[in-house]
Amino acid sequence: MKRQAIILAAGAGTRMKSKLPKVLHRVCGTTMLQHVIDAATESEIKECIVIVGHGAEEVKATLGENVKTALQSERLGTGHAVQMAYDDIAPEGTVLILNGDGPLVTEETLRELIAYHEEGNYSATVLTAELRDPHGYGRILRDDAMGLGKIVEEKDANTEEKTITEINSGLYCFDAKLLRKALPLLKNENAQGEYYLTDTLSIIKEMDKKVGVYKTSDYEDIMAVNSRVQLAEVEEIMRRRIAEKHLEEGVTLIDPKNTYIEKAVKIKRDTIIYPGVILKGNTVIGEDCTIGSNTRMENATIGDGVEIHNSTILESTVGDKTTIGPYAYLRPGSSIGKHVKIGDFVEVKNATIGDFSKASHLAYIGDAEIGKHVNIGCGVVFVNYDGINKNKTIVKDNAFIGSNANLVAPLVVEESGYVASGSTITKTVPSGALAVARGKQANKEGWVQRKGLLKTKEEK
């Protein structure tokens, strides 16, 4: 059977008090709208049509090529929004209606709703939930047979109706044929002067067709975001869900509430994550790693048995059994080998570092290719920028760069080449040679006394 989803996303989201269209606010790193599209796609909906309006171009720019859009240039209500997709609605099949501001909806809930709707041969099915505080939502009025009577909006409800705690989630399944029949019949005779999508359910009922009510016990799934307070609530729930998934798969999170992991991140078992860690994008972490507190990674690929403390790793890879930090900064394009040590205050950018090499403290390694078993001393600077161009330094296997050396690129240190500490190296260091490039030490005997600077016992 053909299944389509129409996702309502034209609203302004005034209460967000934001320049950004509401559905583009992010939850755990992904826009709310994309979360909804992902849930629909995962529940085997082949076609998504997003109704755009407020900030249409900005919203469209975030969507993949396989997502259709329909423009609602005026916000005349949820029914009006769906009317904008009228020509895209298939002649038959199931149409799922979703809200772009409800990012917590899961694939499972959508599958359940679709199954209930299709297996029960309903012409329309509304997803409802029981809420302790139903304020603001449309209320579900049941008929004598406990089926759907009608849906009354908060603004149209009388005092008695307002006490009803079963609410309309705003998620529905429709038989495409009947949705096409009902949509043109909508009227805007209500307190808000809007075309309510909810009225299509009454219209379909009046056609003597079966309308179903599917009540979910998982009210979190249907939470809609209208304010930053709700955005923070939803973020907390999504973060908890992501954390639970990793915990169930064998990852230790010392303090899940204070660990920030985006949805696409992958972590293998027996890795331990300390509080304050931020893992973003398509970061992948192997097994038996320790990720120490306040580490931030974005699109990083980390091998097995790696230890990282208080460090930032962006668009880079780190091999097995390597240790990083504390306070290391791996910038994009860095590829660190196995059993490497990158110590405190070492910055690496666009560089490969071979297995068993070390840069233990206070170094800048930029635009470099470093071999295996290389030692980069304390305070070494790869001088990669001449003011116009970025140049490359190659340091081959078993080389030793003494502390506080400057390697002025372009430069090659051949295999087993040694650089004396404090040298500023501008020419190739041949294999097995020691390069010294610094002023020779001269000792001027008795100089302090001659200058009258020698302190007597009393002065000390």
- Residues lying near ligand UD1 in the complex (CB under 6 A) are found at 8-11, 51, 53, 72, 75-78, 80-81, 99-101, 137-138, 151, 153, 167-170, 196-198, 224
Cβ atoms 431, 449 nearer than 8 A: no
Please state, in angstroms and rounded to a whole number, the distance separating the CA atoms of residues 76 and 85.
Answer: 14
Please state, in angstroms and rounded to a whole number, the distance separating the CA atoms of residues 286 and 273.
Answer: 12
User: Nearer to ligand UD1 by C-beta: 135 or 444?
Assistant: 135
Q: Which of 25, 135, 361, 373 is catalytic?
A: 361
Amino acid, res. 57: E
Burial of 184 (0-12, 13-18, 19+ CB in 10 A): exposed
Minimum CB separation of residue 119 from ligand UD1 in Å reads 25
User: Nearer to ligand UD1 by C-beta: 141 or 437?
Assistant: 141
SS (H, E, C) 311-378: CEEECCEECCCCEECCCCEECCCCEECCCCEEEEEEEEEEEEECCCCEEEEEEEEEEEEECCCCEECC
Tokens of residue 258, six digits: 């204070």
The yes-or-no answer on residue 117 being catalytic is no
Minimum CB separation of residue 140 from ligand UD1 in Å reads 9
Minimum CB separation of residue 361 from ligand UD1 in Å reads 53
3-state secondary structure of 66: coil
User: Nearer to ligand UD1 by C-beta: 101 or 367?
Assistant: 101
User: Nearer to ligand UD1 by C-beta: 81 or 253?
Assistant: 81
| C-beta nearest to ligand UD1: residue | 138
Minimum CB separation of residue 217 from ligand UD1 in Å reads 17
User: Nearer to ligand UD1 by C-beta: 67 or 224?
Assistant: 224
Burial of 333 (0-12, 13-18, 19+ CB in 10 A): middle
Minimum CB separation of residue 152 from ligand UD1 in Å reads 8
> Looking at the annotation, which residues are catalytic?
361
